Chain A
Amino acid sequence: MTHVKLTMAQALNQALRDAMRADETVLMFGEDVGALGGVFRITDGLTAEFGEDRCFDTPLAESGIVGMAVGLAMNGMRPVVEMQFDAFGYPAFEQVVSHVAKMRNRTRGKVRLPIVIRTPYAGGIGGVEHHCDSSESYYAHTPGLTVVAPATVADAYTLLRRAIEFPDPVIFLEPKKLYWAKEEVDLTEDQPGIGQAVVRREGADATLIAYGPTVPVAMEAAHVAAAEGRQLQVVDLRSLVPFDDEAVCAAVRSTGRAVVVAEASGFASVSSEIVARVTERCFHSLAAPIRRVTGFDIPYPPPMLERYHLPSVDRILDAVDDLQWEDS
């Protein structure tokens, strides 16, 4: 196959299409995913191609959507469900935490739930209240869930295909602000799978660790830093659970300095977990404490104030400047 120019939204749509063609037990359902094709058009045309039984709208109830997915999965289906926006997944929290995450363990592996919960995620789109939450830490904190967040068009395709093939439940976080980002991609090209982080940019001076919506921001920061004479390495986590300790630690050891960049509030979060793990493993390789650039510990701001909250290139570069360079 040759290279094609696709948006992340189109790549996700293609992944669903290909997965549904490959396996007729794959079902796609949720709110407005049928005729409308989803509010972000990720399911565009799926009902037309696969029929009402394969891609369908449900009554408006997230707990019902995820709960029904549990039953469908118990009986041989591979449900992919869409939570319309991150914060609208909260009514399903009970099903996710008490059942989706626990079923395999409590039945000693007898009942497996190959469910994908797709969620348009995070901010940067000027959305009003409840439309820009970063809820990854709730899910990553829940044992039994696999949590994935693509940052590139190619990854969106590959990771969604892998998530649908995965034997266990996957929380699939789609960065909203990247839906319209375009890239030249070859979808047949193999990408690393779930659980593997990748180095997006090499650099010897310090490591930026990012995932989902903050990967392009970290890349931009590295670009600016290079012009100022500092070489920053950028690691894209891709998968929060499982966490790629090996790749991340190898990266940090190679530079001795790191900044974690995430949109979510920093307190008791994925970003704090990363700092803890890397520090525990790489303490003697570190020239400075690992810094974090995250959203503040506040509810996601209204549109007119969101720019103060989101990790910016300047904030990242300030954090890098703070990595005790004078001591080394």
Chain B
Amino acid sequence: MSEHTPHNHPDFRCRELFARMSEYLDNELDGSLCREIEGHLNECQACKVCLSTLKRTVALCREAGAAPIPETLSRRLRELIATLAKP
């Protein structure tokens, strides 16, 4: 019953990749480490899923978009500018 399940992340390579996934996504790792990670990703579906969901999380943050500023704030800033412009 203690059959080894390869994908419940006991593998140290999975754990190591898990710890460095953001750096990998951000291109902050050196070339040899990247190649090592890519090799692992090719054979480990769990890490692949993990990486793609993390990557999508980052993309969603980037694309979530910016709200326009409300009229109340525009007014406050106009007032601030007017106050500061006074000699």
Q: Do A and B make up one complex?
A: no
